[in-house]
Amino acid sequence: MTTEAAPPHGSAGTPTASPTAEQFAAVQQSAEFAELRSSYRSFAFPLTVAFIAWYLLYVLLSNYAGGFMGTKLFGNVNVALVFGLAQFATTFLIAWLYSRHAASKLDPKAAAIKARMEAGE
């Protein structure tokens, strides 16, 4: 069931004026946005390259160093299993680090830009 009535004034669903393309372009050219983008890239790009290198090392060792990867460490646990599980651990570590970085560095800057745009500045 839907209604045509507008939400009450001040509610979360109150329509606001949308920023224009010119306002978006101005924000994109601002030093504040450049700083936000730089902060994101300085974190994301190095970690992405490092993780891809780590993953490719695992794949290459699995293909070309079978003897090394088959080395038993204890019981039925070998180097390949440890490296494979380390891939999962690395993925979760990077996600956790990114969430901390975003919360402390990216989100406040993005919120300030958003607030400025919503205020029509």
Q: What percent of the chain has pLDDT over 90?
A: 62
Residue 20 or 110, more confident: 110
Contacts of 106 (CB under 8 A, 6+ apart): 36, 39, 40
Residue 118 or 14, more confident: 118
Q: What number is the average pLDDT over the span 73-99?
A: 94
Q: What percent of the chain has pLDDT over 70?
A: 86
Q: What number is the average pLDDT over the span 49-59?
A: 96
Q: What number is the average pLDDT over the span 88-117?
A: 93
This prediction has a pTM of 0.72
At 72, the pLDDT band (50, 70, 90 cuts) reads very high
Contacts of 58 (CB under 8 A, 6+ apart): 83, 84, 87
Tell me the pLDDT tens digit for each residue of 13-47: 555 567 778 888 888 888 999 999 999 999 999 99
**In the block, residue with structure tokens 């070998």:** 78
**In the block, residue with structure tokens 């509610």:** 11
